[in-house]
Structure 1
Amino acid sequence: MSTTDTNPELESLLEYIKRNRGFDFKGYKRTSLTRRIKRRMQTIGLENYNEYLDYLEVHPDEFVELFNTILINVTGFFRDPESWEYVASDIIPQIITNKHLSQPIRVWSAGCASGEETYTLAMLLAEALGMEQYTARVKVFATDVDVEALEYARHANYSPKEIQPIPPELVEKYFERVGGRYVVQKELRRGVIFGRHDLVQDAPISRIDLLVCRNTLMYFNSETQAKILDRFHFALHDHGFLFLGKAEMLFTRNHSFTPLDLRRRIFTKVPNGNRRDLLLNITHLNTQQSTPEMVNPMTRIHQAAFEIDPIAQVIVDVHNSLVLANEQARSLFNLNPRDMGRPLQDLEISYRPVELRSRIDQASTNRRSVILKDIEWSITEQESRFFDVHVIPLIDNNGDEFLGVKIIFTDVTRFKHLQNELVHANQELETAYEELQSTNEELETTNEELQSTVEELETTNEELQSTNEELETMNEELQSTNEELHALNEELRQRSDELVQVNTFLESILSGLHSGVAVLNQDLHIQIWNYRAEDLWGVRADEVKSRHFLNLDIGLPVEQLRQPIRACLLGELPYPEVTLQATNRRGRAILCKVCCTPLRG
C-alpha cells in the first residue's frame, strides 16, 4: 500500500477495531476494505469514517454486523471440480504413499468459512483411506477468523441447494437427511477440528501434509500475503502440498514453493535447510521424589535458578492468576510483589507487548507450546525492543493434569539490529559488485536491457494478478448480494401468496352473508360492496368502489344515514340501528334495517 493510498480516517478506524476487538485488518487490501465498510456505513446512514467510529463506540453490537460484511463467506462443495479431481487422483494418493500406516495425516483448511471445502477434503480422504483408517489417522484442522461462520460449519447442516455439487453417491454415503436438510455423518465430522485462527497474527499449525487456502490470500496486500506464505511454508512438512484458489498465484514467493500444477494452483514446498532454529530457555521443575532432608535445599536451588535467569519469565496458574515472575520479568514489566496472585487480565503484561490471554487459552486447549516471533514493543517514541514469546503449558508428571503456563520473553533486539546491519552490509556488497561489473560496459548494457525487460514482465504479471484478484473479490461480493436478493424475493412472494389467500377468504365470507354489506373508510368512501348489496340495489361493486356513500343514487334514502354513520364513527354506544322505507332493484317497496358497526384496527 503506497502512502498516497492511505486515508487517515480509515486507518484510525482500523486501529480502533484492532484495539477493541483484536481483529487486525491493516494487512487487507484497501480497495476491498473501503468498498465493504462503506456498504455497511450506507446501510446505517453514515457518511464518513469518523462518524462510524463514534457509532461503534456507542453501539458495540455493530461490530458483529461489520465483521459479517467484511468477511465474505462465499464457498461451496467441490468448487472448481477439475482441481478437486486432481487432488483426489494425484495429491492424496501421494500423501498416503509417503506415510507409514502408523503415521497420522494432518490437513489444514485455512479460511474455511462455513465448512463446505473442509468437508470436501474429509470426504476425499475417507474415500481414499476407508472410514476405519480415516477415523484412526486423519486430522483436518479447519480455521477462520469469523466465529459465526465457524459455528455454522460445526453444525454441518446444509440445505439441498448447498449440497447440489456433491456427487449423489457421496451424499448417500456421508450425509443424513434431517427435516429437509442434510447433516454430515458423525464418523466424518469426528476427524475435523474447527477453531478460530488469524492467519496474520496467530502461530501456524505445524506438520501439515496438505494445506488448502482458497481465495483467501487475494483479500490481503502483497506484504501481508508474503508474511502468510512464510507461515504456510513453516507449517508444511518437507514436500508438503499447498492448494490455492484460481485467483491466486505465487509470483513473489517462487523461492519457497514450486508449482506442481499451475493451472489448478497446486504447489509443493521447497525445503529450506538453512532456517534459523529458535533457542528457547525452558525451566523444568524437578518432580522426582527426594528425601525429606533434601526438599528444602532443592526448592531453594530451583527458586534461585528461576530468580536469576537473565531471560524474563512468568508463570500463570489454571485460574489465569500471576503466581511467579523472576527478577528480569519484574524489572522489565514493572511488576511488584503485590501483583503476585492477581488476575492476569488486570495487569499491563496481559496485552503488552503482546495479547497473552488468547495464547494462554490456545496452549491450555491444545496442550502445545505457542511461539510468537519478533514481537515489537515500543518503550518510548525513540526506542523499540523485540521479543520472541514462548507460551509453554505446564503438565504434571503423569501428563494428564494441566497446572498452568510458563511464559518466556526472549529479548532478540540485538539480533534484529544485527540482522538490519547484515542487510545494510549486503546492500553495500551488492553496490561493490555492481561497480565491479561496470568494467565490462558492453556486457553490463546487455544485462541492464535484459533486467529491464524482466522487470517490465514482472510488473505486468503483478498488475494482471492484482486485477484478477479484484475481479474475483467483486464476483464473490456480487454472488453474496445475489443470494440475499433471492432470499428477499422469496420472502416477498410468500407474503403475496398469503395476502391473496386472506383476500380470497374475506371475499368468500362476504359473499356468504345474506345481508348487503358496505364497508366505508373515514371519508365515507366505499371500500367493499358485497354480492348481496349488488343484488339488493342493482349496482355492481366496481361502479361504487371509492365513491362517496351519501352520493349514491339507489333505492335507499342514504341521506337519512348521515347521522347514524357519524355516531358510529364517534364510537357512541349502543351502535346506531335504523329502519328505512326503501325500494329494491326490482322496484318493490321494502323496509330496510340498517346497522352501523365500527371496524377497529
Structure 2
Amino acid sequence: KITVFATDVHKRSLDSAAQGVFTGDGLAKVSPARLQRFFVEVDKNLYKVKTELRKLLTFAHHDLTRDMPFCKLDLICCRNLLIYLQPEAQRKVLSLFHFALKMNGFLFLGKSEGIGGPMANDFETVSTQNKLFRKTRDHKLALEIDANRRGSPQVIQRAGSQTVLQRPASLDRRVLNDYDTMLERHIPPGILVDDTFHVLHCFGDVAQFMKPLRGRIETDILSMTEGNLHVALSTSLQKVKKSGLRTVTRNIRLKTAEEDYLVDVTVDPIPYQNTSSLHYHIYFQQIEKEPPPLAQLPKEAELDTFEPSLYYRQHLADLEIELQIARADLLATQENLQTTTEALNTTNEELQAANEELQSANEELNSANEELHSTNEELYSVNSEFERSNLELKQLNVDLINLLTSIDSGIIFLDKEKHIRKFNPAISTFFKLLPQDIGRPIDHIAYQLADQTGLSADIGSVLRDGMVVEKEVATREGDWLLSRIMPFRSEEGPREGVVITFTNISKVKDAELKVKKLNEELAKRIKELEETYLKLEEESGRRIRAMEELRQKDQLMIQQSRMAAMGEMLGNIAHQWRQPLNVLGLQIQELKISYKLGKFSEELLENGVQKAMEIIQHMSQTIDDFRDFLVLDKEKKPFSVDQTIRRSASLIDASLKEHNISLEISSSGDPQINGHQNEYGQVILNILMNAKDAFVENGKSEARISVRAWTEDNRAVVTITDNAGGIKQEIIERI
C-alpha cells in the first residue's frame, strides 16, 4: 500500500491541491500515456486526477518547526524550503526528518540545499547533482519540539464551525513617538532599574554619569558607576529597598576631565500590584550654584546632603551587617548540608540503582511516545482528509438534489441490474414512484407509456452497446414525450448503469402539426403562384412584343424627326446663304458696270475681290458651323454656356429675322459646364425652333424670345422665355 502525505502551512494551497484539477498547459510535460492513465478530461483544456490516484494522497496542515513529525516514512521530498530558514531552524528540521525516516529511507532536497554539520554523518549522499540522500544511522537524535505547539495539526474546519483568532493589540506609532518626545522634554535624565538593580530603561542623556564602558557589558547600575556616585547609589538603593520610601541625596560631587560639578540623586520606588518586587527610578539633577558649607545648612538639608565619609561609613556598616547575616546563614547551611549529605549518601545508592532502571524505561517510553505522537499526527491528517471529502460529497449531493428538483424533465438513474438508484420529482408524472422504490427493478414499476416492453428493450440495448437511444413515445393520455437513454460511467470507464430522461414535447408536436398544415397551405399557395406566374409570363411576353413594336415605331419617328431637322437645317442654310449670295451678285455686277462705263480700275478690282472673298469665307464658316453642330461629342470637356447659346442662335438667326422674331441673349458670370457641347447646343436650338414654330402657327405680332444665363451655387442656370402663348393644356401632361 502506498500513502503519500502532502503537507503545507497554507490552507488555501492545500484546498486547491486537494481538488486535483490541472490545465492543459500545466500538464504540457506529462506524456500522453501518463495523461490517459492518471487523468480525466472534465472540460475543455481542463483535467482532473483519477480517483484511484487521488485516494493515495492525504492532504494535511503541518508546520515543520512546530508540529510532531510523521514516522516510518520511506521518502521525504522537501525542495527549496530550507533555504528560507535560519541555520538553527534548518538543523531542527533536518533532525525531525532523520527521526521520521525509516532506516535506509531517502531524503530529496532542492538543488540549492544540502546536509552539513553534525547531521552529515547520519546521511549518505546518493546523488550530489539531484540532492538525494539516504539515512544510514538509526540512533535517536534530540528533538526540539516547540513547547507552545498545538497538540494536533490543524484540520479543515467543519461547516458551521468558527475559529477564534486572538489578534495582537496594535499601537499607534505616532502616539509612541509623542510619548517618547514628552519623556525627553519633561523628565530629567534618569534610569529605571529592577529589583536586582539591573538597568531596564534610560531617560535622557545619562552617559555623563556613567563610567566609560569597556569589555563585556554589564547592566548592573552599581557596576556602571564609580566614585562618589557609586557609593551614594549603593547606600540609597539599600535604604529604599528596606524602607520602600523615596530618598534624595544632594550635592554629590562628580569629577570629569574638564570640570567638577554637583548633582542631586533621587531614588523613587515603583510598586506593582501583582508582585512584591519593586522597580526603582533613579534621576539626576545638576546643581548650578555651589551650596553653602555644611555647617550653615538647616538640619533637614544636612541629613540629605552627601558627605563622603558618612556615606562610606554607612556603606561599610551595611556591608558588615550583610556579611554577618551571610556568615550565620552559611553556618546554618553547613550544618543542614552535613545532615542532608549523610541522608543523601544513604539513599543515593538506592536512587542510583532505581535511576538506571528508570532511565532505561524512560528511553523506551520516549521512543514509544514519539511513535505515538507521529501516529497521532497521521491519524489527524487522515481524519481531516476524510472530513474534507465528506464535506465535498455532502455539497455535491445537495447540488445534485437541487439540480434534479429544478429540472422539469423526468430523470431516473438505473444501475447495471436495472434497479432504481435515484429519480427526481418531475418523473412522478409518468412513473408512479415513491422514495421507498429506490432499489426496486424498473420493470416492477407501473408507468404511463403506451409501449412498456420497448422501454425495457432499449435499456438493455444501452447497457450492452453503450449507444444513446433517443425516440419519441406517447403516453396513454395522448401526450408526447422525448425519451433519451444514456449510459453513465465511472471515472475508470466501465458502464455503471443508465440515465433515462423524459421531456414533454406535446407542445412541440402540436407546433409540428400546425407547421405541417401551414406547409400544406403554403404548397397550395405556391402552386397558385406558379399558375399566376405562368399567366404573368405570357402577359409579359405580349407586352414585351408590344414594347418592341413601339420601340421600332419610336426609332422610325426619331429618324423622321432627324430628317425633318435636317430639312429645317437646310432651310436655315438657304436663309443664311441667300443674303451673302445677293451681295456677292451685286458686287460682280458692279465690276461689270464699272468696266462698261470706263470707271474700272485696279483699286476697284482689289476692293471687289476682297469683299467677295470675305463673303465666301463667311459662307464657308457657316458650312463648318453646321457640320460641327451635327457631329456628336465623344468626350466631356468644359465649355462656355454663353458661347454655345450664341452659336446655336446664329444658325437660325436669318430664319428668325424673316419672321420678325426678336431674340435677346444675356449672360452674367460666364457660366461653365463640363459635358458634351454639341448635344447641349442642339437642345438650345430645338427649343428656339419650337418657339419660332409656335409664333408662325399663332401669327403672333411683336414676337419676342429671351435667353438668360448665370451662375448659381456653382451651377449654370439657363432660362428661355417667349410670348407665343405656352404649351397646350391637353399635351402638357405628356411632356
Shorter-chain TM band: under 0.3
Between Structure 1 and Structure 2, whose CA radius of gyration is higher?
2
What TM-score do the two structures reach when normalised by structure 2?
0.22
What TM-score do the two structures reach when normalised by structure 1?
0.27
